[in-house]
Structure 1
Amino acid sequence: MNNINILWVDDEIDLLKPHILFLEKKQYNVTTCQSGTEALEIIGDTNFDIVFLDENMPGLTGLETLNEIKEKRANLPVVMITKSEEEYIMEEAIGSKIADYLIKPVNPNQILLSLKKNLDLSRLVSEKTTSNYQQEFRKIAMDLSMVNTFDGWAELYQKLIYWELQLEDIEDIGMTEILESQKTEANLQFGKFIEKEYASWFDHKNDAPIMSHTLFKDKVVPELSKNQPTLLIVVDNLRFDQWKSFEPTITNYYKKTSEIPFYSILPTATQYARNAIFSGLMPSDMEKLFPKYWKNDTDEGGKNMFEAEFLEAQLKRLGLTHLKHDYFKITNLKAGKKLVDNFKSLKDNDLSVIVYNFVDMLSHSKTEMEVVKELASNDKAYRSLTQSWFKNSPLLEVIQQAQQLGFKLIITTDHGTINVGSPSKVIGDRDTSLNLRYKTGRSLTYQDREVMAAKDPREIHLPSMSMSSSFIFAKGDYFLAYPNNYNHYVSYYRNTYQHGGISLEEMIIPFVVLEPK
């Protein structure tokens, strides 16, 4: 077969002769011994692929032998075989990171299955996953040509993420390239869909997705309870696939009760989308009702300075002023650690809101720092970096404390982000906004095919800086570049993560409700 070397350790090895012959017929090489001491000597001299280890032996017990093996060869898979079903033995063995656990009497097929599971797993999974995706590819391609509803697009995008994560650990560049081409095609069609349908979502509210400005009223408020504190975490700039990358860490402490995709408003930028979540209003209404809080793109000063006030006003409008609540914005490690230290004081709140800015800082620093460009050169690396940050962040410590204090947990975001690769030339006057994925200003000249234009921003509930102002939003992976100093600009920003425009990654984002385990 594959020159796989097995060490089988059992003080009654003679009784296992039929099993050993069975494996040798399957082309496995089996070495046997009758004690833990003998096993440790052999392992010192020979490289094995896997060990079958009897638990109940005179002299060194199976568990003692297991610990010694792990000290010598930490990555050598060990399958524990025992007559005993005593729970403490199982727990001890599992805690020592055994590869499998079999109860005597074992039959040859159990042994074979354990070998396949531990030695051929990655190959078998790789082949099966590739084969399944090849079948699914045709279905996704067919769906792409037919999908024409916001629910349909959310479902299709989640399907693409599922396969992206399935193929992530498989060294099949061909399959990954096929999936990337499907994502590109999906974004092309999605851009056309948004161009056609987006404005109508405001006219026909009964036939519109949950969006930034309706999320709090329609999804957060029904989860609030006087009997249980709720922690709402808004992680800035979090894509659906990034949520999926750290979901397994959170499920050590929380069980998911619901997960839905919702749509970020345009522009998919923090000052628009996040303010919309907290105010429950579209930007044109924020400008009209709260002129002292709202700032347009070209206005001086911070654009997200009044989220706490917007939240306060929304709670008042919804008749929820009786709710005891707090709002925190975390933009650096020091503020995160301070929140961890003081978190227990929030246990009497009905609602605690945390805006956590890390992912946004990561995407911006990717543009600024060559080292981060290296670390997050593609979506797989970007997910991995997010996961690594989360596992070591104060945010995880906050979530662990929230679980211990019995908080309901809601995780969401304001918008996602996309890796941009294609420059799109745009010309505007000096008052034009600076964002790479959208522009607002007068007399904009642009490539029609590559952007969606909103000549009258009021139709999509955006403010106008002047009578003749319009908005344009980049579609797919385009980023907007001025003709002057074009080549330097393009090489600097290509393959960076940006937001503000129209893509599945930026617009379709997660809202997740979890209960403590």
Structure 2
Amino acid sequence: MNEINILWVDDEIDLLKPHIMFLEDKNYRVDTCKSGADAVEEVDRKNYDIIFLDENMPGLSGLEALSEIKAKRPNLPVVMITKSEEEYIMEEAIGSKIADYLIKPVNPNQILLSLKKNLDHSRLVSEKTTSSYQQEFRKIAMDLAMVNNHEEWSDLYRKLVYWEMELENIEDVGMIEILESQKIEANRQFGKFIEKQYPGWFEDEDAPVMSHTLFKELVVPEFKDDKPILLVVIDNLRYDQWKAFESVITNYYKKQSETSYYSILPTATQYARNAIFSGLMPLEMEKLHPDLWKNDTDEGGKNMHESDFLERQIRRLGLKINWEYHKISSLRAGKHLAQNFTSQKNNDLTVVVYNFVDMLSHSKTEMEVVKELASNDKAYRSLTLSWFKNSPLLEIIQQAQRLGFKLLITTDHGTINAKNPSKVIGDRDTSLNLRYKTGKSLTYEDKEVYAVKRPAEIHLPSINMSSSFIFAKDDLFFAYPNNYNHYVSYYKNTYQHGGISLEEMIIPFVVLNPK
């Protein structure tokens, strides 16, 4: 251990000789002084790792000395020690950002614990996290060999996300690489599972909740409480991104339940989000609502009729509710809704579709600055958290909490960091998405895709009689042979969606009640 320098400030320091000897036996270096004024001078003279500061001293008090020390060294941990249990002293000390607060008489082990907590915290947490993941690694590997239904895949994915976020704050590169290899293997196995099971889910009573059943199965039951509901659909939100900003929301809401559901294929906005609001698969949308549905090659926006789809689903389900729908695609629109949210107070349901995360992931391929900021999953989570803390969406949620709204948070699909190209050839009418393609006469690498020759089998429309769909697996993205190298370098390591991965398909649905 590097030498730790401690300054202990107490006007009765001679009585603390046994404590100081105890620490010196543990190889800590302890300097002492008897007044707040001396302590301030010592901090100027020498770099200390931590200070133990008596609160009740003649002359410059502990709190006054604390203020002067923090002005000089704002990041230096100071542990306040006091005989007094008066609340105002505790509050003032905590408000001055003390590292710990101990009540006299203190014993040597209390001092040692405070040192460990403040100086060895990162190392101890790192060692414990690494040790725990090493044990869990074997269990995950066994689970991966045994997993064979959609619930087990959801559980396994959530477990991988948990460990990814636990490991991201420690400096053990080896452990992080092991986890990455587990994620890659999990996605490989998950692709095989989806290819085998997905077509049967449309006739299976044990199928997971999917995009087209989400509203009926998970949203409608929440009306039983007679509380107004705010349903927020954050476009393109992965499960790990939800976990990144969950703690911000729980300042205002307490979590009632957290589950996950499966996005339909393609995991793309025009398919998955229209399915949420219509309660139908794309093939049925095309048949029942030809005035609202657009295929990939049709002109115009593909998600222009979500409100119309929702109106028809609400009518079909026989719900007698007051509701409004808002799509937020700009900062100005978000601020406007936040400022006027009280107008929603008489609604049974307020739906807010928030497009920011989708804009972020797409702009990552267009803007080099964002590409730098979100170079990997850890950075992508961090960027999402930073956005959320400063977004009008948080203001909207705060307003909803004050008005007593129940909060439902979900998304239409996730996204994956696409790292490796897969060659594909199609005609000029082939769709443009990088993780799925639909068109005729597609040529592709068989092992790298889930190919569906008859789209109607998975309830997707056909652009023409011989159209098929292909979905990229693993972390692949489709690239055309012409201008191949430029195309690959441009899109490599960008966030894409439309294909098959845990990140794209297994997505959050969270119910929260106002605090």
TM-score by length of 2: 0.98
Matched, 1:468 2:466: yes
Report 1:61-460 matches (<5 A). Answer: 61-204=61-204, 206-225=205-224, 227-320=226-319, 322-460=320-458
| Residue 14 (structure 2) aligns with | 14
Whether the 8 Å CA contact 1:420–1:494 is kept in 2: the answer is yes
> Which residues in structure 2 correspond to 1:475-490 (within 5 Å)?
475-490=473-488
- Name the CA distance, whole Å, in 2 between partners of 1:504 and 1:478: 13
**Which AA in structure 2 matches 1:309?**
D
- 2:370 aligned partner, one-letter code: V
Deviations 1:242-261 (A, max 9, x none): 11111111111111111101
Superposed displacement of residue 512, structure 1: 0.7
- In the alignment, the residues of structure 2 paired with residue 146 and residue 79 of structure 1 have an alpha-carbon distance, to the nearest angstrom, of 50
Name the aligned partner's letter for residue 515 of structure 1. N
SS in 2 for 1:198: helix
CA deviation map 1:193-233 (0-9, x unaligned): 000001111111x2111111111111111112574221111
Q: Match for 1:93: what amino acid?
A: A
Partner of 1:491: 489
Q: How far did residue 95 of structure 1 move?
A: 2.1
Distance in 2 of aligned mates of 1:421 and 1:481: 12
Runs of at least 5 residues in structure 1 that lack an aligned partner in the other structure: none
* Cα distance in 2, alignment partners of residues 252 and 267 from structure 1: 35
Per-residue deviation, 1:174: 1.2
In the TM superposition, what is the alpha-carbon distance from 1:58 to its structure 2 partner? 2.5
Aligned partner letter, 1:139: K
Deviation at 1:454, TM superposition (A): 1.0
Show CA shifts across 1:473-499 (max 9, x none).
Answer: 000001111111111111111100000
Task: Give the Cα–Cα distance (whole angstroms) in 2 for the partners of residues 489 and 64 of structure 1.
Answer: 63
Q: Percent identity?
A: 78
* Aligned-residue offset at 1:459: 1.0
2-structure distance, mates of 1:378, 1:136: 24
Question: 1:396-421: CA deviations, max 9, x gaps?
Answer: 11112222222111111000000001
Distance in 2 (CA, whole Å) between partners of 1:30 and 1:494 is 54
Gap change, CA 1:226 and 1:107, over 3 Å in 2 = closer
3-state secondary structure, aligned to 1:114: helix
**Pair 64,348 (structure 1): closer, same or farther in 2 beyond 3 Å:** farther
Give the Cα separation in 1 of the matches to 2:490 and 2:3: 50
Per-residue CA deviation, residues 445-490 of structure 1 (Å, 9 max, x unaligned), is 1111000011111111111111211111000001111111111111
Alpha-carbon separation, structure 2, partners of 1:305 and 1:245: 30
Misfit runs of 4+, over 6 Å: none
Conservation of the 8 A alpha-carbon contact between 1:225 and 1:350: no
- One-letter identity of the residue aligned with 2:261: F
Q: Which amino acid aligns with 1:316?
A: R
309-318 vs 498-507, greater mean Cα deviation? 309-318
Deviates more, 1:32-41 or 1:414-423: 32-41
> Do the aligned residues in 2 keep the contact of 1:226 with 1:350 (CA within 8 Å)?
no
Q: Judge conservation of contact 1:451–1:474 (CA < 8 Å) in 2.
A: yes
Deviation at 1:86, TM superposition (A): 2.4
Which amino acid is 2:472 matched to? Answer: A
> What SS is found at the alignment partner of 1:224?
helix
Per-residue deviation, 1:105? 1.4
Q: Secondary structure at the match of 1:92?
A: helix
Deviations 1:89-143 (A, max 9, x none): 2222222221112122111111111101110111111111111111111111111
Question: Aligned-pair distance for 1:363?
Answer: 0.5
CA distance in 2, matches of 1:54, 1:285: 74
* Worse overlay, 483-492 or 217-226: 217-226
Conserved? CA contact 1:450–1:475, under 8 Å: yes
For residues 273 and 315 of structure 1, the distance between their equivalents in structure 2, rounded to whole angstroms, comes to 18
Q: State the alpha-carbon separation in 1 of the partners of residues 286 and 395 from structure 2.
A: 37
Q: TM-score, normalised by structure 1?
A: 0.98
Q: For residues 492-513 of structure 1, what are the alpha-carbon distances to aligned partners after superposition, in whole Å with 9 as ceiling and x for unaligned? A: 1110000000000000001111
Q: Is the 8 A contact 1:52 1:80 kept in 2?
A: yes
What's the secondary structure of 2:340's corresponding residue?
A: helix
Distance 1:92 1:220 in 2: 46
RMSD after superposition: 1.2
User: Distance in 2 between the 1:175 and 1:478 partners?
Assistant: 24
1:365-401 CA distances to partner (integer Å, 9 max, x unpaired)?
0001111111111111111111111111111111122
Name the residue aligned to 1:40: 40
For residues 471 and 45 of structure 2, the distance between their equivalents in structure 1, rounded to whole angstroms, comes to: 65
| AA aligned opposite 1:143 | D
1-structure distance, mates of 2:420, 2:372: 19
Deviations 1:155-214 (A, max 9, x none): 11111111110110111211111111111111000000000001111111x211111111
What residue identity is the alignment partner of 1:121? H
Q: Which residue of 2 aligns with 1:56?
A: 56
CA distance in 1: counterparts of 2:67 and 2:256, whole angstroms: 39
2:326 is paired with a residue whose SS is strand
Helix, strand or coil: the match of 1:199? Answer: helix
Q: Distance in 2 between matches of 1:513 and 1:105?
A: 47
Q: Against the structure 1 CA distance between its residues 154 and 226, is the aligned structure 2 distance closer, same or farther, given a 3 Å change threshold?
A: closer
CA distance in 1, matches of 2:331, 2:498: 26
For residues 101 and 217 of structure 2, what CA distance do their matches in structure 1 show?
48
* Residue aligned with 1:106, SS: coil
Deviating more after overlay: 450-459 vs 7-16? 7-16
Distance across 2 between alignment mates of 1:244 and 1:145: 26
